[in-house]
Amino acid sequence: MGMRLEGSKIKNIVNTNIRSEGLIKGVIQVPADGNPIIMLSDHGTIGGYPKIGVVATVDYDKLVQIPSGSKIRFKEIKLSDAETLFKLYEMETNNLILQI
């Protein structure tokens, strides 16, 4: 369902009890304990924790292969950059498939 992260707590400056809303794969939620949760492929359809970002689709496969206890760093990117990276990823994947 999700990947729980540990480390420096993220302090919530607003109410942590928000109205439930739809979730997507890769969204990062922050529950009241301050330890973020990244929603994975079998996540629920709705959630009521504040959301601080979404893992770029191009990085999702890498994320789910990270061994437990590994360090993860996040970097904010523009949507247009995420789209460009995904297009390159698709091209590389298709080239690999054609070589099989």
Domains of the chain: 2-98 (2.40.100.10)
Q: What is the pLDDT of residue 16?
A: 63
Neighbours of 29 (CB within 10 A): 18
pLDDT per position as a tens digit, 44-90: 898 888 899 999 999 999 999 999 999 999 999 999 999 999 999 99
Distance between CA atoms of residues 40 and 62, nearest Å: 12
Closest CA to 25 of 70, 69, 58, 66: 58
Closest to 55 in 3D by CA, of 70, 41, 34? 41
